[in-house]
Amino acid sequence: MDNAANELLMARQNGERPLTTSPQTCLKHIDTICRGFGIDSLLPQLTACAEVLKDGDGVDVAVVGRFKAGKSSFLNSLIGRDLVPVAAVPLTAVVTRLRYGPRDRAVVKHLDEHEEEVPLDRLAEYVTEQRNPGNEKAVTIVDVETPSLRLYQGIRFVDTPGLGSVFAHNTRTAVDWLPRVGAALLAVSIDQPLSEYDVSLLKELAKHTPEVSILLTKADLVSPEELAEVGRFIAEQLNALTEGAVHVFPFSVRPGYEPLRETVQQHLVQHVSQRHEERSREIIRHKLRSLIAGCREYLRMALSAASAAVEAREQLQHQLEEERQNLSTLRNEIWVLSMDLKGRVQADALDRYLGHSAGLVARLTTDLRSAMTEWKGHLRQTAERFARWASDALYAELGPLSHQEGDELTARHLAAAQASLTRTVRAFQDRLAKDIQRALHLTFKGADFQGEIRHPERP
């Protein structure tokens, strides 16, 4: 085992000892260890930490959370105008970064590394699912500058796609961004306070930043008494889940809630903007310690395996081989889950369709009668015209209906499906961890698993 790995293993646990080398040197050591020992699961964190170091002493404040939690509306309230697109359906598809600049400008960066400056009124063409479906324009990120953010110099706000929507690629984009988070505002709608999904996201954010706050959006939906009750509930949950203090900021963009908005703004200015250099250093140290902890866990397992008795290693190999052979069982469990989900979605979709079928049939019948008056010729020509009419008419009718009902339908089942899939795989990982515990006498958490489910083609 090389010197860098030895030094890392001998180091004390996180928080007991400050980092004595420069962040760049520390990151270089971690990179050497990860690549030398094949610790691929830490490479995304490693790359993100290197990018944060390269960006300088500013702080990326990411606004994250489930779709329709009010993230874009919150950013528009800070800007003082509707700059970030907002809609009634899952909208944001591309990560958008906003910071102070002397003039309004937006720079679109593409996968092929070329950049283009576009007017702000064309922002929706690049960052929204409706205008850029599936990110067909191959946009990696959009950087926006505006004088309206003068108050928040030193901060770069990050608008991320909503998590858990029907668009799996949007969730993947947001999750992939998490290791780069500087500080985080977790937007939680007051009508669904701190769900299991939010708790999972909170724990993931804590790996990457010490600066996590809860933005309790849509506070106007409840009375002041109910708002206080929800605030107490969240505070109690956070005390049980987190080690450090997590601020909770009730928020609403509605008139009459200016004091709530001012509280959040003052926190961002005084706690982050005016101290952005200090905060940046703290965040980098946190990311490095998280990387070191991950490295140490893998190295201890490797060291224990190398020094374990031959019998223990053979036992572990035998147990792992059994688990490998049982992978077919895991696949069957996932297949059963998917078939169950398919059945429930089909039944739900049929119920929704039947609610529209009478009007749909009436409109199609009227349209067909009108179209048939213009069809002339022999049977083959008439049949071809009917086939074209049927395709066009059904698409015209079912397309809007599919988008209208489909988003709500898929969103209703997606979170449960993702949770079931994650639990199944996590159970498999837990069995592996127990095998390692019995053979090597150490705890191994393993890599995080994030289930992704593609939304169906429509209509």
R_g of the chain computed on alpha carbons: 26
> What is the tens place of the pLDDT at every residue in 295-332?
888 888 777 766 666 667 777 777 778 777 777 777 77
Give the C-alpha separation, 389 to 393, whole Å.
Answer: 6
> Residue 368 is which amino acid?
L
pTM: 0.62
Give the DSSP H or E segment for 62.
Answer: strand 59-65
pLDDT the model gives residue 454: 61
Express each pLDDT in 211-265 by its tens digit.
899 999 999 999 999 999 998 888 888 887 777 778 899 999 999 999 999 999 9
What residues contact 364, with CB distance under 8 A and at least 6 apart? 393, 394, 397
Question: What residues are paired with 248 via a beta bridge?
Answer: 214
pLDDT at residue 173 in the model: 61
The pLDDT score that the predictor gives to residue 74 is 92
Mean residue pLDDT across the chain: 80
Residue 269 has pLDDT above 90, yes or no: yes
108 pLDDT band (50/70/90 cuts)? very high
* Cα dihedral value 161, 166, 169, 172, nearest 10: 60
pLDDT confidence of residue 165: 41
Buried b (16+ CB within 10 A) or exposed e, 193-231: bbeebbeebbebbbbbbbbbbbbbbbbbebeeeebeebb
Task: Report pLDDT for 251.
Answer: 94
Peptide bond just before 23 cis, omega within 30 deg: no
Two structure tokens written together for 257: 């809630």
pLDDT at 67: 73
The predicted pLDDT at position 99 comes to 94
Angle at 242 between CA 238 and CA 247, to 5 degrees: 55
Spatial separation of the C-alpha atoms in residues 209 and 321, rounded to whole Å:
38
Residue 4 in this model has a pLDDT that exceeds 80: no
| pLDDT score for 162 | 62
Q: Which residues pair with 92 in a beta bridge?
A: 128
Give the pLDDT mean for 49-55.
83
Pair type for strands 155-159 and 59-65: parallel
Each residue's pLDDT tens digit, 90-103: 456 788 899 999 99
Displacement of CA 329 from its chain's centroid (Å): 29
| H runs (alpha helix) in 247-378 | 258-267, 276-307, 310-325, 327-372
**CA 410, CA 157: separation in Å to the nearest integer?**
30
100 by DSSP, 3-state: which? strand
Lowest mean pLDDT among 141-150, 214-223, 247-256, 285-294: 285-294
Domain 57-274 has CATH 3.40.50.300: yes
CB 190 within 8 A of CB 73: no
Distance of alpha carbon 143 from alpha carbon 98, whole angstroms: 6
Neighbours of 441 (CB within 10 A): 10
Residue 265's pLDDT is 94
Q: Token digits for 310?
A: 């031959």
Per residue in 326-379, pLDDT (tens digit) is 777 777 777 877 788 778 878 888 888 788 888 888 888 998 888 888 888 788
> CATH 3.40.50.300 occupies which residues in the chain?
57-274
Compute φ and ψ for 445, nearest 5 degrees: -85, -35
